[in-house]
């Protein structure tokens, strides 16, 4: 194999310095000529203002649930009241009276929902209705029992 003369054996070198200069010049050019667009003004968002509270706010009713279990136990909002043998239910009547008076002071309607198990006696539902009447509560309804 013949060797080439030294003139033809030069290594090709690429000088990147001018190309880097051009890239920096283009970068500076685009940074200077580009305008910054504020896209926040394009969002149509209405912030809440200081509005006075409503003159007649709507009060939600105060609902209490009375469960009647199959063994005759009565629960008011999950807490047992009176004994299963009690017919006049004094503790339930007192508690319902206090709840009704507190709701009346706050101008809130008191709603009682009676949920009797399928195995409970009908007399126990009548006893609870009598306690509601003695407490002066007039909005009473029946719901689906758990049994």
- The CATH number for 102's domain is 3.30.420.270
- Answer whether 68's CB lies under 8 Å from 140's CB: no
- Per-residue pLDDT for 147 more than 60? no
Inside any domain, residue 46:
no
* 43 within domain boundaries: no
Q: Is residue 52 part of a domain?
A: no
Tokens at 44, concatenated: 């149509």
Q: Residue 7 pLDDT > 70, yes or no?
A: no
Contact predicate 124/72, CB 8 Å? yes
| The pLDDT value given to residue 27 | 93
Buried b (16+ CB within 10 A) or exposed e, 28-55: eeeeeeeeeeeeeeeeeeeeeeeeeeee
What does the pLDDT read at residue 15?
85
**Domain with 101 in it:** 62-143
Residue 91 lies in a domain: yes
Distances (CA, A) of 55 to 11, 51, 52, 58: 91, 11, 8, 10
Domain presence at residue 50:
no
pTM for the model stands at: 0.58
What confidence score (pLDDT) does residue 25 get?
A: 94
pLDDT digits 0-9 by tens, 103-134 = 888 888 888 999 988 888 889 989 999 999 99
Share of the chain above pLDDT 70, in %: 80
How many separate domains does the chain show?
Answer: 1
Residue 29 included in any domain: no
Which residue would you say has higher pLDDT here, 147 or 2?
Answer: 2
Strands (E), 5-145: 62-68, 74-76, 79-81, 110-116, 139-143
Express each pLDDT in 33-71 by its tens digit. Answer: 887 766 655 667 677 777 676 676 666 678 889 999 989
Residue 131 lies in a domain: yes
pLDDT band at 23 (very low <50, low <70, confident <90, very high): very high
Q: Is residue 57 part of a domain?
A: no
32 pLDDT above the threshold of 80? yes
């Amino acid at each position: 194999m013949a060797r080439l003369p030294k003139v033809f054996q030069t290594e090709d070198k690429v000088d990147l310095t001018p190309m880097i200069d051009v890239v920096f010049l283009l970068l500076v050019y685009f940074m200077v000529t580009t305008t910054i667009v504020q896209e926040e003004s394009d969002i149509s968002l209405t912030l809440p203002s200081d509005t006075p509270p409503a003159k007649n706010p709507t009060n939600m009713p105060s609902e209490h649930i009375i469960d009647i279990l199959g063994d005759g136990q009565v629960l008011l909002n999950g807490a047992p009241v009176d004994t299963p043998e009690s017919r006049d239910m004094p503790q339930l009547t007192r508690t319902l009276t206090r709840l009704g008076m507190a709701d009346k002071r706050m101008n809130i309607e008191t709603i009682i929902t009676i949920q009797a198990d399928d195995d409970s006696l009908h007399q126990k539902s009548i006893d609870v209705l009598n306690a509601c009447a003695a407490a002066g509560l007039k909005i009473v309804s029946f719901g689906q029992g758990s049994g």
